[in-house]
Structure 1
Amino acid sequence: MPILHDNPYESLSFAIEDLKSKGYEFDFNQKEKHLECPQNEKHYNPEDFTITHTYRFEGMSSTDDNSVLYGIEAADGTKGLLVDAYGVYADSLSPEMIEKFRVEYEDPDKV
């Protein structure tokens, strides 16, 4: 299960900038059963990657603006980021992907 880190960042854009400076250069897209990385044209199954950073951001104007940033490292050394809204795609993910991203789907008041 990914570890929810204390969030030292003022905004999502600052977090992205900082993690990119630490080598998280690729972008990941969440699919039903895997992550895809358009830059290297690879797919990563849940067992092929580790979530190394997890930060939540809550929108000031609306709860619809809530998002989570994942720092991800694949088994092949690819490091990148995934930005997603809280639980938006939960219904379209396989059980394995939901388990991998479980922190995203917990009730934020219980975390």
Structure 2
Amino acid sequence: MHIYDTVTAALTDLDNRGYNLDFNLTSEALECKSINLQLMPEEFEIEEVYHFEGMTDPADSSVVYAISSNLGNLKGVLVDGYGVYAENISPELLNKLKIHHQ
């Protein structure tokens, strides 16, 4: 596991290590618009997780997930704020993310 001072440093290093896709949360899946793909919770793994605390405001805290999928041998990242997704996504997707959100 690596240690990063900033979200930008984490994203740069992960990109250099092949995590090139940008994922976003939908209500049921992770979505990568650049390749028009959705990954259901059972179709991806969370390889690494990095937590970043806001300098002055805890609401600015975020999490960077390094994601991989055997579907097409894909690797990418998901950046999310603490708790932002809790009300908007399926229980299956929430549980997958929460396991690594400790």
What TM-score results when the alignment is normalised by the length of structure 1?
A: 0.85
- 5+ residue gaps, structure 2: none
Aligned counterpart for 2:83 among listed residues 67, 71, 87: 87
Q: Which residue of 2 aligns with 1:41?
A: 36
Deviations, residues 7-46 of structure 1 (Å, cap 9, x unaligned): 6101110000000000000000111110111111011000
Q: Aligned partners of 1:75 and 1:86: how far apart in 2?
A: 27
In the alignment, the residues of structure 2 paired with residue 95 and residue 31 of structure 1 have an alpha-carbon distance, to the nearest angstrom, of: 12
Q: Report what 1:99 is aligned to.
A: 95
Aligned length, in residue pairs: 100
Give the Å deviation of 1:51. 0.4
Alignment correspondent of 1:52:
47
CA deviations over 1:50-88 (Å, ceiling 9, x no partner): 000100000111011100000000122110000000011
Runs of 4+ in 1 over 2 A off after TM superposition: none
User: C-alpha distance in 2, partners of 1:38/1:27?
Assistant: 8
Query: Does residue 83 of structure 2 align to residue 62 of structure 1?
Result: no
Once structures 1 and 2 are overlaid, which stretch shifts more, 23-32 or 95-104? Answer: 95-104
Q: Which runs of 5+ in 1 are unaligned?
A: 105-110
TM score, norm. by length of structure 2: 0.93
Alignment root-mean-square deviation, CA: 1.2
Q: d(CA) in 1 for partners of 2:50 and 2:31?
A: 20
